[in-house]
């Protein structure tokens, strides 16, 4: 995985301003590497993972997963990844681990 100057802003839920969730992330994670992404609440961890898994577009910057661009080649990225989220929308309680 490679990320270059990845930025993402959201429209603020109130006040009409913008929230900068990612302010230019550069990262490189090699194949087979186990990588822990740590940060306080609101640091942008989920935003980063959503961009890498093609669930969200970056505002600017780019990222590749397994050599494929997460925006231009989203279908190829999706073929190569699996995501189990700990959030409310995950498969916990719906699917078993084996399923």
Ligand X SMILES: Nc1ncnc2c1ncn2[C@@H]1O[C@H](COP(=O)(O)OP(=O)(O)OP(=O)(O)O)[C@@H](O)[C@H]1O
For the bound state, the minimum distance from the C-beta of residue 6 to ligand X, rounded and expressed in Å, comes to: 12
Q: Does 5 bind Mg ion (CB under 5 A)?
A: no
Task: Quote the longest CA-to-CA distance of the chain.
Answer: 45
The option from Mg ion, ligand X, none interacting with 10 (CB < 5 to 8 A, set by class) reads: ligand X
The option from ligand X, Mg ion, none interacting with 82 (CB < 5 to 8 A, set by class) reads: none
The answer to whether 64 and 27 have CB atoms below 8 angstroms apart is no
Q: Which is nearer to ligand X, 16 or 32 (CB)?
A: 16
DSSP three-state, residue 52:
helix
The option from Mg ion, ligand X, none interacting with 44 (CB < 5 to 8 A, set by class) reads: ligand X
The answer to whether 62 and 4 have CB atoms below 8 angstroms apart is yes
Kindly list the residues in this chain that would bind ligand X in the complex (CB under 6 A).
10, 13, 19, 21, 39, 41-47
Parallel/antiparallel/unpaired status of strands 2-11 and 18-28 = antiparallel
For the bound state, the minimum distance from the C-beta of residue 28 to ligand X, rounded and expressed in Å, comes to: 20
User: Which H helix or E strand runs over 46?
Assistant: helix 45-52
The residues of the shown chain that bind Mg ion, judged by CB under 5 A, are 45-46
């Amino acid at each position: 995985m490679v990320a270059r100057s990845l930025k993402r802003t959201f429209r603020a839920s109130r006040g009409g301003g913008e929230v900068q969730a990612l302010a230019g992330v550069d990262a490189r994670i090699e194949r087979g590497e186990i990588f822990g992404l740590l940060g306080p609440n609101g640091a942008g961890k989920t935003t980063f993972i959503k961009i890498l898994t093609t669930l969200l577009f970056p505002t600017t910057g780019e990222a590749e997963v397994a050599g494929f661009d997460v925006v231009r080649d989203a279908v190829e990225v999706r073929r190569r990844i699996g995501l189990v989220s700990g959030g409310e929308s995950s498969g916990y309680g719906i699917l078993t681990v084996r399923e």
